[in-house]
Amino acid sequence: MPITDILQKNADFYPNDTALVEINPKHESQLRKTWQEYSLIESNSREVYRKEITWSEFNKRANRFANFLLSRGVKRGDKVAILLMNCLEWLPIYFGALKAGAMAVPLNYRYTADEIKYCLDLSDSDVIIFGPEFTGRIEQIHARVKRVKMWLYLGEDCPTFAESYDELTSYCSSKSPMIKLTDDDDAAIYFSSGTTGFPKAILHKHRSLLHAAMTEQSHHGQIKDDVFLCIPPLYHTGAKMHWFGSLMVGGKAVLLKGIKPEWILKVASEEKCSIVWLLVPWAQDILDAIDRGEIDLSEYELAQWRLMHIGAQPVPPSLIKRWKKIFPNHAYDTNYGLSESIGPGCVHLGIENEHKVGAIGKAGYGWQTKIVDENRQEVAQGEVGELAVFGPGVMTCYYKDEKATADVLADGWLYTGDMAQEDEDGFIYLVDRKKDVIISGGENLYPVQIEDFLRKNEKISDVAVIGLPDSRLGEIAAAIIQVKEGMELTEEDVLDFCLDMPRYKRPHKVIFADVPRNPTGKIEKPKLRKLYCGESVVAQQNEIN
């Protein structure tokens, strides 16, 4: 069953129920009023602070876009690229592309102009819809992208080289285009994080999307009354596939365009959110703001908040233990996944396994896992190896890249490139990315383990560990440490703190600097390597002998 059928079902069963809410807090002063008051004040502006649509309107908007695409000759298998910030129109556009039989191609909003061109060319995109934030970047490339035949613009002041999405779709039929879809039809192309260069194009069928929805609802038990707060970017599989749980039950979801702790808590309070998916930095920021006295929890109504879950990156156990002290009634969960496995859920901790905080869990709903050596033979329990997953959400291929596909797919198994180990109870723990392992003096060092240790220091806000070249040891571990606001940390402090760590694991260099993360919260280690590897140590770096 294609996932578009679920949208139609919700429009039939719950036509007047709220499907999506968009909240856009732009100024600190807005916090003095409710979102509803601002909606009334700014009702004549496109940039209202609270907007919502029902399931019926959601479905109609998707149908209008689908019918528009079909009227312009878009056919089954054509590709529709989406370059938008999170907004109320994002998901109807995505579903409209699917309803037309086309393939959706979400693009990372941080891409440079050249990266956008690269992805449009690689994916053979025929159509792109973009927002005002990207006009400058699109202007740089639109004359050089030969395949795209339609440049659609969502917003006011449409540039001359594009056409207005609002104007073109407003006259289209809101009836279903009645394009028959099957689970075996190609549905979407997502792009890898691009941590080893330009990103790869990941092809998924409709089967993958449906299984992602089933997995999410199975893991988190969404019911109709649950309200999901979605903050991460919708171009990423993580945000969208977690929202699929709301889609499955016809529940309301709130798109918050901001990550400040007070905004997250205010929206959770006023919109009665019961499920909130956070990234590690956002959870850390909330806890730090509470510790500094900047947030008074008594000002918020959070009794309905039942589940806080984190994914997209290794989760420090110390962070969750700290969270549970402040929010003891929150269930906690973590999901592991990749865009190649249609996002979160191929490995799943489960709210009943909070005693295993630190693990990513066991095989998720409908999934199988194994840990293998360099010859792809299973290792003994407790040994470190590469994690492989098998299930209905595994990608079809890397689009137009047979070699890269063969490197990671074999007999239906996806070899993730993540190093992991399984404990005596069958729970899987991430050790590190295969490419991030540091080999120092013949010893394998796993940066995640060192990072988790250092995060236990109450003065450390964030930390990243990378390998730096060394003439004697080959590589040494360097810790980039971001100190909490208002606190001081010295080289000697770090040295003393690391005495409880095995000597060979201790970082040889400390760099006091901000830790860069991408929109999904992952540490941008390639950026750090480019900055520090092969370069002289700057004054901020301190060597520990």
User: What is the band of 48 on the pLDDT scale with cuts at 50, 70, 90?
Assistant: low
* Stretch (H or E) spanning 345: strand 343-348
Tens-place pLDDT, residues 161-220: 999 999 999 999 999 999 999 999 999 999 986 544 578 999 999 999 999 999 999 999
pTM of the model: 0.82
Reported as a single tens digit per residue, the pLDDT across 50-82 is 999 999 999 999 999 999 999 999 999 999 999
Distances (CA, A) of 329 to 98, 324, 332: 39, 8, 9
Tell me how far apart the alpha carbons of residues 524 and 515 are, in angstroms, rounded to a whole number.
Answer: 8
pLDDT in tens, 314-324: 677 888 889 99
Average of pLDDT values for 141-145? Answer: 94
Tell which wins on pLDDT, 476 or 393.
393
Q: Is the dihedral of CA 419, 423, 428, 431 positive or negative?
A: negative
The shares of helix, strand and coil residues in the chain, as percent rounded to the nearest 5, are 35, 25, 40
Q: 152 near 130, Cβ under 8 Å?
A: yes
CA dist 48 and 40 (Å) reads 8
Q: Over 90: is that where the pLDDT of 327 sits? A: yes
Q: What's the full length of the chain, in residues?
A: 545
CA distance 270 to 301: 7
pLDDT digits (tens, 9 = 90+) for 329-371: 999 999 988 899 998 899 999 999 988 988 999 999 999 999 9
- The pLDDT of residue 543 is 35
Residue ranges of E strands in 154-299: 163-164, 186-191, 201-205, 227-230, 252-256, 275-278
Looking at residues 436-457, what average pLDDT do you find? 80
* pLDDT reported for residue 418: 86
Residue ranges per structural domain of the chain: 437-543
CA 518 and chain centroid, separation: 9
**Range 437-543: architecture per CATH:** 2-Layer Sandwich (3.30)
Residue (of 464, 447, 440, 468) closest to 533 by Cα position: 468
Reported as a single tens digit per residue, the pLDDT across 475-521 is 888 999 999 988 999 888 998 898 888 777 888 889 999 998 876 67
Q: Own/partner pairs for 15-18, CB < 8 Å, 24+ apart?
A: 15/54, 15/55, 15/56, 16/54, 16/55, 16/56, 17/54, 17/55, 17/250, 17/252, 18/52, 18/53, 18/54, 18/252
- Mean pLDDT (the chain, rounded): 88
**232, 85 contact by CB (below 8 A):** no
